[in-house]
Structure 1
Amino acid sequence: MVHLTATPKSALEDSPVTIYASGLAPSQLVTLHALLTDESGVKFEAAAFYQANDAGIVDVEHASALGGNYTGVWPMGLFCTLKPEKMFHRLIKRDVINSPFHVQINLFDSPTLYSLPGVAPLATCTVERWYAVPGMERFPIKTGRIRGTLFLPPGPGPFPGVIDMFGGSGGLFEFRASLLASKGFVVLALALFAFDDLPKKLAEVDLEYFEEACKLLLKHPKVRGPGLGAIGLSKGSEITLAMCTFLEQIVAAICINGATRITGAPLRFHDVHIPAVPYMSERTLINDMGVMSTFHVFGDPEDERHQASAIPLEKAQGHVLFVVGEDDHSMNSKLFAETAIARAKQHGKNNCTLLSYPKAGHLIQTPGCTLCCISPIGGKPLVWGGEAKAHAKAQEHSWKEIQKFLELHLGPAGSSSL
């Protein structure tokens, strides 16, 4: 009798899953198929073709996929190569507390049958991919000017505090914040714009808003202090770097694929004003499918004409971890990071670390997140870059390094000891 198991059946989204099929005929060709339906009803699917061994077993920990959405030995391949039925649709978990993503794993006979309507699988099982541990608390924040969501891990604490931000699409993303809180951090997912009553567009980066967020977080009795961490992707990365430079509260900053100078909108902080390098929209590239690349829109990171817009990282007292994908199609994030690090070193600073990942794209997220190569911003599809397997490895490695970095500079997570 054919059996199919996926272990663990229920776990955090960043946990690895082992898929194991038995009871097959020796050398039988089969298809492993994954199906996920997101909260908006869009289906995501992935398939890989395997050959059972002499004992009639397919163990993805050791077996090599012969074809499908990926090849070779890749235990998490089905999860990391899920493709949407709706073109350019990005997989994002919205309700991070109350429900998991359910991923149905199906085992079909032969590589040709799985896509035919009405064909029943030989076996099936379902795994739950959660974004929060039991006992996690979530609180919408609307205090003063601050808009976002606060995540508190279970336990008395106090815990290290972190501010989490995303990029140029605006709104509020909570999935990384809830996962990070599941590791023992108090995390404030902070909205930048286009959320609640915040401005629809980011006309100015008012760093006093982010200073207010720091003070709010440090007042919470579960936050250890005195320093905080900040993590940002894309525009959020740029702001994270500015926070580490000008705000004494930020002692550990993780900057993922962002510019290292002020772009698009100027920065203001008390008597400090940094002009922005305007987006060079005329340099946008559009392919035959209407998909845009903004790689050249941000200009040359080494262009000396824009020195006045460079974030003066040499002023930062904290530490910075740059995480970049070398196949980032949104911007030259590696060169931006290298330029900032060189500037810091010229001023005698050695507080920067660079993690650079070949073939990884712009949207470096958490482990298990399927690669999103293209998704819309402002209704227009943008290409983010990345090759599936290399991008997945970058997410797995960087996620561990991010947690180590935060604990190194903020103290142990999930513990009141320093």
Structure 2
Amino acid sequence: MVQLRATPAQALVDEPVRIRVTGLRPSQVVTLRASLKDEKGNLFQSTAFYRANETGEVDLERAPAFGGDYVGVHPMGLFWSLKPKKAFRRLLKQDVMNSPFRLTLHLYDSVYFHDSARVRPRASQTVQRWFSGPGVQRKQIREGRVRGALFLPPGAGPFPGVIDLFGGIGGLVEFRASLLAARGFAALALAYFAYEDLPDKLLEVDLEYFEEAANFLLAHPKIQGPGIGVISVCKGAEIGLAMACYLKQVVATVCINGSNAIFDVPLRYRDLVVTPICLAQECIQIHISGALHLRHSKGDPRNELNQQSVLPVEKAQGQILFIVGEKDECLDSRAYAEQAMDQLRKHRRSSGKMLLYPGAGHLIEPPYTPLCFASWNPGTSWPLLWGGDPVAHAKAQEHSWGEIQKFFRQHLTRTRSKL
């Protein structure tokens, strides 16, 4: 009897799943297909072809795929190679607390290419991928000007505190903060525009808003001081780096594919105004996919005219981890991170570290989530190109997620004296 087993059938999204097929004929060729619908009904699918071994088994931990969406031994390939049926859709979890993504695995005889309700799979199984663990609490935050959602791990605490920032997507993005809480961090998913009573558009970065958020987090009884961390991507990483430079509350900062200077809109902090480097419209390119290619449209912070926009990373009192995808097609993030590292070295500061991932794109997210090569972004009339090679990007996500947690534990967790 042919059986398809995926274990565990319920797990956090950053946990691996073992997929095995038994009961096949020796050397039988089969197709494995994964499908998932997001909360808006968008369909994502992946396909891989396998050949059973001499005992009639396909174990994805050992068996190489010989075709489909990837080739070779990739135990979680069916998860990270998911692609949208409609172009430019990004798989983004909205309700992180009450429902998982449900990914259905189908097994078909032979090499199977087409979608057809008339062809029944030999076996199927659905797995649940959760973004929140048992006991994690979500608290809506409306304190002063601060808007967001605070995720607390189970237990009395205190816990290391982290502010989570995304980029030009705006609104409130919670999936990474909820997952960090499942891993022992108190994480504040912080909105800063296009949410509730916050400005609809980002016309300036008011750093005092982010300082208010940092103070709110540190004042919470379940947050372990004396400082907090920041995890950030894209425009959020630019803001995260500014927080590291100007806010004493921030002692550990993760910048994922960001810049070392202020771009597009000014940054204000008390009496300080940092003028931005403006987008060079004439350098914007259209990729063959139809998405905007922005990598070469950003000005060079090393240009003498742009020096006033460069962030003073040497003033950062805490540690900074730059995570860089070499195939980031939105920003020249490697150049920006290298410039920041050079700046630290010139000032004899050893507070920076860079992790460089060849083949990874712009949106480096928790492991086993699919690469988003290009997608629509709110406020843009064209989809944006993010870049990345699926296999290399998947490896970067898996490795960097462990490094991020290690970094925060090292720099945010106090050593408790033994009584």
- Is the structural similarity TM-score above 0.5? yes
Q: Is the 8 A contact 1:159 1:416 kept in 2?
A: no
Q: Secondary structure at the match of 2:297?
A: coil
- 3-state SS of the aligned residue for 2:129? strand
- For residue 117 of structure 1, report the CA deviation from its aligned partner: 3.3
Report how far residue 128 of structure 1 moved: 0.6
* Contact 2:278 2:299 (C-alpha < 8 Å) held by counterparts: no
| C-alpha displacement of 1:43 | 1.1
Corresponding position of 1:394: 396
Summarize deviations over 1:349-382 as a string: whole Å, max 9, x none: 1100000000000000000110000101224211
Aligned partners of 1:17, 1:304: CA distance in 2, in Å?
51
Measure, in 2, the Cα distance between the counterparts of 1:265 and 1:36.
38
> What does residue range 402-413 of structure 1 map to in structure 2 within 5 Å?
402-411=404-413
Q: Secondary structure at the match of 1:394?
A: helix
Task: Quote the offset at 1:289 in angstroms.
Answer: 4.5
Aligned partner of 1:75 in structure 2 is 75
Shift of 1:201: 1.3
Pairing of 1:127-276 with structure 2 (within 5 A): 127-276=127-276
8 Å CA contact 1:233, 1:256 repeated in 2:
yes
Q: Structure 1-normalised TM-score?
A: 0.97
Aligned residue number for residue 373 of structure 1: 373
Q: Distance in 2 between matches of 1:135 and 1:77?
A: 30
Structure 2 CA distance, aligned partners of 1:64 and 1:33?
15
Q: Name the SS of the counterpart of 2:112 in structure 1.
A: helix
In the alignment, is the contact (CA less than 8 A) between 1:265 and 1:276 conserved in 2? Answer: yes
Q: How far did residue 274 of structure 1 move?
A: 1.2
Please identify runs of 4+ aligned residues in structure 1 that moved more than 4 A: 415-418
How many residue pairs get aligned? The number is 417
Which position in structure 2 is the counterpart of 1:46? 46
Q: Deviations over 1:115-144 (max 9, x none)?
A: 333111111111110001111111111111
Equivalent residues of 1:158, 1:416 under 8 A apart: no
Q: How far did 1:288 drift?
A: 4.7
Amino acid at match of 2:179: L
1:284/1:109 Cα in 2 relative to 1: closer, same or farther (>3 Å)? same
Q: Distance in 2 between matches of 1:287 and 1:204?
A: 29
Which region of structure 1 is more displaced relative to structure 2, 403-412 or 224-233?
A: 403-412
Q: What secondary structure sits across from 2:255 in the alignment? A: strand
Deviates further, 113-122 or 1-10: 113-122
Deviation at 1:112, TM superposition (A): 2.5
Letter in 1 for 2:272: V
Q: How far apart are 1:412 and its partner, in Å?
A: 6.8
How far is 1:416 from its partner? 11
Residue 291 of structure 1: how far off its partner (Å): 1.4
Can you list the C-alpha shifts for 1:19-49, whole angstroms capped at 9, x where unaligned?
0000000000000110111111111110100
Percent same amino acid at aligned positions? 53
Contact kept, 8 Å, 1:101 with 1:129, in 2: the verdict is yes
Measured against aligned partners, the alpha-carbon deviations of 1:203-233 in whole angstroms (never above 9, x if no partner) come to 1111000000001111111101110000100
Alpha-carbon spacing, 1:210–1:44, altered in 2? closer, same or farther (3 Å): same
Q: Please give the alpha-carbon distance, in whole angstroms, between the structure 2 residues aligned to 1:149 and 1:416.
A: 32
Structure 1 residues 288, 47: closer, same or farther in 2, change over 3 A? closer
CA deviations over 1:156-187 (Å, ceiling 9, x no partner): 00000000000012111100000011111111
SS at match of 2:118: coil
Per the alignment, in what secondary structure is the counterpart of residue 237 of structure 2?
A: helix
2-structure distance, mates of 1:288, 1:390: 21
Q: Note the 1:257-336 alignment, pairs <5 A.
A: 257-336=257-336
Amino acid corresponding to residue 6 of structure 2 in structure 1: A
SS at match of 2:6: strand
* Match of residue 350 from structure 2: 350
Q: How far apart in 1 are the matches of 2:7 and 2:417?
A: 32
Check the 8 A contact 2:321/2:354 in 1, yes or no.
yes
Q: CA RMSD in A?
A: 1.6
Supply the distance in 2 between the matched residues of 1:112 and 1:94 (Cα, whole angstroms).
32
Q: 1:237 to 1:253 in 2, by over 3 A?
A: same
Which residue of structure 1 lines up, in the alignment, with residue 57 of structure 2?
57
- Alpha-carbon separation, structure 2, partners of 1:37 and 1:270: 46
Unaligned runs of 5+ in 1: none
